Structure formats: C-alpha cells, structure tokens
Structure 1
Amino acid sequence: MTLTAKDIFARATIIPVMTVDNVESAVELGRKLYKQGFEVLEVTLRTSAAIHAIEEMRRELPHALVGAGTVLNDEQLQSVIAAGAQFAISPGATDALLKAGAAADIPLIPGVATVSEAMNGMQYGYTEFKLFPAEAVGGVKLLKAISAPLADITFCPTGGINEANYKDYLALPNVACVGGSWII
C-alpha cells in the first residue's frame, strides 16, 4: 500500500518539527518522541546533519513515520527520497515543486498561506496542505473562513503553534493535525 498525505495526517495529532545538529542526538530524540506516542516525525532540512539523521532514524525507528521538512525544490525532494524519508513537507508550493511532488514516490505536503495557493495545489491533485506561517497569516480565523469554499482540503498548521493555541486549531473540522517545535 502506498502511503498518502491523508495517511500521515491520520497518524498524527501533533507532528514534532525537529531541527537537528547531531545525528546521534536526533535518533535519541526521535526514539523518545516515538515512545511518548508521536508516530510521525519531521526533520527539517535546515542543517547539514538532516539528511543523515533521516537515514539513521529510518534505520533505528522502523515503526515511526520519518519525513523531511523545509523541502524547497525537486533536488531536495530527490535527496530526502534517497535518504528514506517517507514524506516531505514544504513551507511553500512552487509549480515546479508541486509537479515534482505529484510524480514522487512519497507524499509531498505543500505549504500554503492563501486561498489562491491552495487552489493552485488542488489543480495538481493535492488535498492535504501545511498552512504556514499559520499564526502570521490569520490562523484559526483564516481556517474557519476558508472551510466552506475549500471544503475538500485538510490542513496541518505550523508556525506559531504552541501549547496555548494548538487545541483551538485541532477543534477545526479542516485541521487534521498541527506541527511545531514547541513539543520538543
């Protein structure tokens, strides 16, 4: 069975967003998070250790879903696929990345901040999106406002999500999960 973005969203309530500088520490953190019930783990491509950390986490945590975040282009998408990532998340949604993601062997969850960006992604067949930066672009109010015209899509908001507001997001029918580094 091919893993889909919908599958990833279904297995997560909160996706820990990990920025790692050390592979061994990343694996240990991933292990701790998984034991605490976090089945979906995102490693951002913000450091030189990220790709190797994804490889090692996949090897050491076979039951977790390990993916890459901050994927900006097709080259990075291909690198994370080669490293064994099971999904990719982007902060944005260029046409080139949407095309590459649609052809990829793993699900891409593109980031959007506007209705037009979501509509563009829908033209490529995407129905699951990251809303980023959620708090800065309207957060809960935005998601409520767009739920009727964009009734067929689901979001994972990130950016400004924390222990004080994550439940407000999760209460929305068009939000499947949230992501953030506060959980770490």
Structure 2
Amino acid sequence: MKSFALPTSTLIATVSLLSLVTIGTVRNIMIPGSQLRTETLIAQANYKEAIAHFNRGINYTQQEKLALAIAEYTRAIELDPNYALAYNNRADIYYQQQKHDLALADWNRAIEIDPLLAVAYINRGSLYYLQKKNDLALADFNTTIDLDPRFAEAYFIRGAIYYSRKETEKAIKDLRQAAELFRQQGNTERYNSAIEALRQIGA
C-alpha cells in the first residue's frame, strides 16, 4: 500500500500575543485591598513578561536556534504555568529533537490546560501516527476537526489513516475536503499533496 507525503510537524508557532488563560484571577478569599492590588499588578507583569519570552521563543524557532527557543518557552511557562501555547510550541521542538516522551508530556499538559486548543490535538495526533498508534491518532484528529472544521491538515492525515485501514470511501472524502481547504487557504504545496494522494488511490 502506498504511503502519502505527510508533514513531519504540524506546528503553528506563528501566533504571537496569544494566551487563552489569564493568570490574574482573584481567588475567593478575603485579603486587604492593597495586597490585592499588589498581587494583581505582579500577575499582570508576569503575564506580559511570559508573552515576551513566548515571542522570543518563536523568533528563535524560526532561526532554528532550538536550545534558545526551549529556554524561552520554559521561562514563559515558569511565569505563567497555564500558558498552553508555550507548552505546545516547546513540545514541537522536543518532537523535532526526537524527544517524544517530553513532547507528549507537553502536549498532554497543553490540552489539560486548554481543551479547546485544536493545534495541540493535531500535533499530539501526529506523534501518535508516527508511533503507529492509529486509534489514538484518529481520536485526536477527530477532536481537531470538531474544534476547527477548517483545519485542512487534520483531514489529510485522517484520510491517510482511513486508507491504511482500507476504508477507502472515508479516505477519499477526507482527502477531497483537505484539498478544497488547502485550495481555499492558498496552500498550493499541500493542495498538490492531497491531489496526488487522491490520484494514487484512483479517486
């Protein structure tokens, strides 16, 4: 059975200034007003600093300075332990470095923090797919599509899994959907990959 040209990573690390979990939440306890204001200011300062480290991590990733990128994402997490995107991006670097246990731990943590973070599911699913854990991969791609029905890559890889299971009709449907979404999104390279996959299976 032929295999499709799949991406080695589905990282979306171009999103800067995003954190869906705030760290300045006021707990339901009685504290003096001055102390509350101080704690809120500290939390806001940490939050801004965490974003700065996250953005530096992106820059280092794009420069392929991976050790520096990991350090920046780690510092962002230290400042904001609920920074799901920082876990996601650090996991991707671990994935590139073949440190799959560390990558999986970070993606699990990202999903625990933010169950709506579609990119973490597709990234974790890609790791499961690499490890030939197709049931787990399929579950993550299903969740990705439920959260973001326009996530073309999820349809593409799910189509590959269906094809490996000889569920050809489902594979064709997903690959056609992937191709259309790639076309709409202007991703010519991945559009051509989806069309070629369809050609290979005679669709």
* TM-score, normalization by structure 1: 0.31
- Higher helix share goes to which structure? 2
* TM-score, normalization by structure 2: 0.29
